[in-house]
Amino acid sequence: MLWHKLIAFAVLSLVLCQLHQVTSDDANPGCRTNFSRVGDKCLLIVEERDGWYEADRNCRALGAGLLSLQNPIQLLELNQWLNNSGQPFAKDYWTSGNNLGNQYRTFFWQSTGKEATYIPWAAGQPIHIDNCLLIESSEIFNANYRLSVTLCSMVISSVCEHAPLNYTLSNVTRICLKPDSFETVQVLVN
Over residues 168-184, the pLDDT tens digits come to: 544 454 555 555 555 55
Per-residue pLDDT, averaged over 71-77, amounts to 96
Residue 29, pLDDT score = 82
104-112 CB contacts, 8 Å cutoff, 24+ apart: 107/133, 109/68, 109/69, 110/56, 110/65, 110/66, 110/68, 111/59, 111/65, 111/66, 111/67, 111/68, 111/161, 112/65, 112/68
- What are the structural domains of the chain? 36-162 (3.10.100.10)
Residue 24, pLDDT score = 39
Cα separation, 111 vs 161, in Å, equals 9
